[in-house]
Amino acid sequence: MSAPAPLRAALARDQLIAALREADKLVVVTHEHPDGDALGSLIATQLILTQLGKDSVLYIVDGEFPLPYEYGFLGLPGHISAPPTDLAERTLVFLDCGNIDRNPAAAALCIPGAKILNVDHHHDNTRFGTVNHVDAEASCTAEIVWGLMGALGAELTPQIAEALYVGLLTDSGSFNYDSTSPRSHLMAAELIAAGIEVHRIYRRVYEDVPYAKLALLARGLSRVERYDDGRLIVSQLSAEDFAGAAAESSYSEGVIDHLRAVRDTVMAALVRDRLDPTGAAELTSDGARVRKVSLRASDDRVDVSAIARELGGGGHRAAAGFTTSLAWEPLVAFLRAALERQLGA
């Protein structure tokens, strides 16, 4: 019989701390198309391990660049873009990565015998690590990293605090999502006391918006469709929309929040063409467009991660996503049916 969940969680945390203490050489990685929490927890962990005197590198492949402009101010300490030659000697630390199968570059690091430390807050984390510290109650992975610092004897520098705050701010929806807890605010208080400039970070992350992002939003809002008395609201952005707006793929971030906020919405979906390096639509071998679908729930009854998993994706109850080559009409039909199933209709 396995141990009860809280005990298992405490054991995993102890195992993680012991493994981090023990390791001399590490490589820190996160999920594909990293967001604010992925980058914030990644950078903070890299800084913490380096501060503790360890030889740590931060691995992000070239294909991920340019990173979203709003996180550019953080810098990438110890960044490498090819697997380290001494990979076999390094402990792998995965941050904010719920499913290793969706990150081929990171999965390629997992050579036989690799020590894999999996630190995450996705409730559907596939527990691919040799140590799995998964805390689904945490508002962000940065909150978990922050919670480890005391036990590791790490000092909260302004640079670490800034990276952690970006993770906290972005993954908690500026302290507005359900996952925001007293602990999230205690963390924020400690980060502010450590010297971060809250307003400056807000400006960097949420303002300083390239005009192309506004132009892309306008296109997204012009393609909105509503179904089933507005319970489902969907929009799409094609490769042509990105090109027409001169927008990078990350500029679609935030469009879905406008959809979710509409009255009567139960689930919002944004469907985007995946772009190849030239900005053209990525195609399957039989010529279909590969699309990324982001889902947001605005109703507690709905678990959008379960809907995303039906097509090979995943995420959180209120925010999830998947990739598909379904055409628009069957895709909308799938979303409508999946939502009705969730609502028990």
Give least dist CB 335 to Mn ion, A. Answer: 23
User: Does 124 engage in binding with Mn ion (CB under 5 A)?
Assistant: no
Distance from chain centroid for Cα 69? 16
Of the pair 162, 171, the CB lying nearest Mn ion is at 171
Of the pair 37, 124, the CB lying nearest Mn ion is at 37
Q: Which stretch binds Mn ion (CB under 5 A): 85-93, 132-140, 182-190, 202-210?
A: 132-140
Of the pair 96, 248, the CB lying nearest Mn ion is at 96
Number of residues binding to Mn ion, judged by CB under 5 A: 5
Of the pair 172, 265, the CB lying nearest Mn ion is at 172
Give least dist CB 31 to Mn ion, A. Answer: 8
- Report the distance separating Cα 144 and Cα 42, nearest Å: 12
**φ and ψ at residue 224, rounded to 5 degrees:** -70, 135
Place of tokens 């969907």: 234
- Per CB under 5 A, contacts with Mn ion among 160-179 are 171
- Per CB under 5 A, contacts with Mn ion among 210-239 are none
User: Does 96 engage in binding with Mn ion (CB under 5 A)?
Assistant: yes
Q: Which stretch binds Mn ion (CB under 5 A): 92-100, 272-280, 296-304, 332-340?
A: 92-100
Give least dist CB 28 to Mn ion, A. Answer: 15
Of the pair 220, 315, the CB lying nearest Mn ion is at 315
- Taking CA atoms, 316 is separated from 93, 136, 178, 184, in Å, by 21, 9, 11, 17
Distance from chain centroid for Cα 142? 11
Give least dist CB 298 to Mn ion, A. Answer: 19
Of the pair 141, 294, the CB lying nearest Mn ion is at 141
- Report the distance separating Cα 117 and Cα 136, nearest Å: 16
- Report the distance separating Cα 97 and Cα 102, nearest Å: 9
Listed in sequence order, the residues at least 6 apart from 145 whose beta carbon sits closer than 8 Å to its beta carbon are 41, 44, 45, 48, 95, 119, 164, 167
Site string for Mn ion, 30-59 (x = CB under 5 A): -------x----------------------
Give least dist CB 193 to Mn ion, A. Answer: 23
Six token digits for residue 156: 């909260």
Q: Which stretch binds Mn ion (CB under 5 A): 70-78, 89-97, 209-217, 272-280?
A: 89-97
Helix (H, G, I), strand (E, B) or coil at 91: strand
Q: Which stretch binds Mn ion (CB under 5 A): 93-101, 148-156, 264-272, 288-296?
A: 93-101
Number of C-beta neighbours around residue 279 at 10 A: 15
Q: Which stretch binds Mn ion (CB under 5 A): 53-61, 94-102, 209-217, 312-320?
A: 94-102
Give least dist CB 121 to Mn ion, A. Answer: 6
Place of tokens 């967001």: 35
DSSP symbols for 247-315:
--GGGGTTHHHHHHTSTT-SEEEEEEEPB-TTSSBPB-TTSPBPEEEEEEESSTT--HHHHHHHTT-EE
Of the pair 219, 292, the CB lying nearest Mn ion is at 292
- Report the distance separating Cα 162 and Cα 74, nearest Å: 8
Of the pair 47, 140, the CB lying nearest Mn ion is at 140
Of the pair 96, 241, the CB lying nearest Mn ion is at 96
DSSP symbols for 13-67:
HHHHHHHHHH-SEEEEEE-SS--HHHHHHHHHHHHHHHHTT-EEEEE--GGGPSP
User: Does 303 engage in binding with Mn ion (CB under 5 A)?
Assistant: no
Q: Which residues bind Mn ion (CB under 5 A)?
A: 37, 96, 140-141, 171
